[in-house]
Structure 1
């Protein structure tokens, strides 16, 4: 049996997590060092401090608490050690992404809803963006095939640095690849490190790359640094709660069946009779 406080989950654990209902899988895609793991760690810290207002939903447990702690531990203040960014997610560990589990329960409902957030190396997505059948990108392919929704991470720091051209090209390739396989699933363009300024022309180019192929995408800007005026205590960062709430508010499309054809005036037989 999978322990309640295990590390990040793998494919072998999905059957256990799916025991009560199919979980929502949120695919977080982006380049190396774009801030994907930092985003996950920030969410965990906000939930732990009771700062994430999720519209009446409350934390109802996790099968991957050790995994959450691993990505968030470096971001905590410790005596003599200021917070740091989480370590880079290794591209050498397996062919499927690690997944962090979160269960949330509505105040007026008894059954919790399960979410799985993927934590995959950026190198996988770069390989997959160039070649959908690349063996080095097979983990990114899994995310593309199985996610219910996507967060496309755009790193403002990389898009304003010395390698901005390469960062732009990689993100444009990734957007085109994902757009070709989206199948009408929800997607959000997420600008990380929102405190970093980028050229308006760069911002326009990235938006065009995303919205040309995914016109229904939603847009968010996030940062672990609080950019609001004044000195709020404690800090919630910028845009983090809004993005998490968007992710957990998602609903799968439902299938509407046509009404049954009545073959009798007797209401007990409105679904027809065998002949």
Structure 2
């Protein structure tokens, strides 16, 4: 059997079939690869053409078909294992699904609704019990990150922004922070190279627990790696599980480390334990608004008028 699809833009079986087949074994290209490897006749022609997506998480090569209508933004959610990265993504999806207001945007669709449901189902109330937490993203699922897609429409202008959120295991980022060029860091390296916005997760629970020294060391290594590869991109540090108190001296040391390695950055605090605070979901939406609207430091918030009398160059910048 062929171990890899012969299509240069498909990473099956490590990621979803690029032609949208739910089972990569059903893809004509995969069947052709297998037939060639086994020296048998070519696979029979298919009766139809599958859509270029299946509803599951997208691969890195799948962004092109979704970006022709608008600008697109890749959001890297970076942090150690168990810090709450997948829970953050699931919370965004569920809050939008229940109609929570997102300031200046409205939900305009997704190519990965199945992928969103796969991570969000654990947070739902069911007849058999209350919500829990999504399972940890497995580091054995492949070398390429899963991208969750969400289209957001600007309420005033109607413009659509396609957002891609990287759902990747924390083990990738730990290895990447230590050795950027290591083979096991290839997934995190791809995210770092393609991300437009970087969100670093600081796990309050881990940083206040018995192994807080190790948690602090890993987080400091991630700060340092992101700082080296930032290239003017906007960065946020998000304290998850903020209902758990981190020792003040330790928190101060971590904030100093973030400032030292990252420079300018934005800070958020989140907790899913909002029983006593009806407005506790607002910080989640504030963070989503930030990643949607923020632009890199190399961009100007308002376009400047060109210093020229050439009408062609002035066109589009206002008079």
- TM-score, scaled relative to structure 1: 0.88
Cα deviation, 1:169-219, whole Å, max 9, x if unaligned, reads: 000001001001101110000000011111011111211111112121000
* 1:237 maps onto 2:287 in alignment: no
- Deviation of 1:110 after TM superposition, in Å, equals 3.2
**1:113-142 Cα shifts (integer Å, max 9, x gaps):** 110111110000000100110110111111
**Contact 2:306 2:314 (C-alpha < 8 Å) held by counterparts:** no
Which moved further from structure 2: 250-259 or 133-142? 250-259
Q: Write out aligned runs for 1:8-47 (5 A).
A: 8-47=57-96
**Hey, what does 1:115 align to over in structure 2?**
163
CA distance 1:213–1:79, change in 2 (3 Å): same
Q: Which residue of 2 aligns with 1:160?
A: 208
- 8 Å CA contact 2:207–2:215 kept in 1: the answer is yes
Alpha-carbon contact 1:29-1:125 (below 8 Å) kept: yes
C-alpha spacing 1:241/1:259, structure 2 compared with 1 (3 Å)? same
What is the aligned partner in structure 1 of residue 114 from structure 2?
Answer: 66
3-state SS in 2 of match to 1:239: helix
More moved, 133-142 vs 206-215: 206-215
Q: Determine the C-alpha separation between the residues in 2 that align with 1:56 and 1:50.
A: 13
Q: In the superposition, relative to structure 1, how do residues 186 and 80 fare at CA in structure 2: closer, same or farther (>3 Å)?
A: same
CA contact (8 A) 1:154 1:171 kept: yes
The DSSP-based 3-state class of the residue aligned with 1:54 is coil
Quote the Cα distance in structure 1 between the aligned partners of 2:71 and 2:229: 21
Equivalent in 123, 126, 133 of residue 85 of structure 1: 133
CA contact (8 A) 1:37 1:86 kept: yes
For structure 1, list consecutive stretches of 5 or more residues without a partner in the other structure. none
What is residue 208 of structure 1 aligned with on the other side? 256
3-state SS of 2:63 partner: helix
Aligned residues: 261
The equivalent position to 1:170 in structure 2, one of 197, 218, 222, is 218
* Alignment of 1:151 onto 2:199: yes
Gaps of 5+ in 2: 1-50
Q: How far has the Cα of 1:227 moved from its partner? A: 6.4
- What is the DSSP-based 3-state SS (H/G/I as helix, E as strand, rest coil) of the residue aligned with 2:226? helix
CA 1:95–1:268: 2 relative to 1, 3 Å: closer
Alpha-carbon shift at residue 260 of structure 1 (Å): 5.0
Task: Look up the match of 2:52.
Answer: 2
1:248 aligned partner: 292
Q: Sort the Cα spacing of 1:148 and 1:131 in 2 relative to 1 into closer, same or farther, 3 A.
A: same
Q: Distance in 1 between matches of 2:313 and 2:284?
A: 53
In structure 2, how many angstroms separate the alpha carbons of the residues matched to 1:162 and 1:173?
Answer: 19
- Is residue 126–residue 170 contact of structure 1 (8 Å, CA) maintained in 2? yes
Say if 2:305 and 2:314, in contact at 8 Å, map to a contact too: no
Q: Is the 8 A contact 1:103 1:114 kept in 2?
A: yes
Once the two structures are TM-superposed, the CA of residue 243 in structure 1 deviates from its matched residue by 0.9
Cα offset, 1:74, TM superposition: 0.4
Distance in structure 2 (CA, Å) of the matches to 1:72 and 1:183: 32
Alignment of 1:129-148 (within 5 A): 129-148=177-196
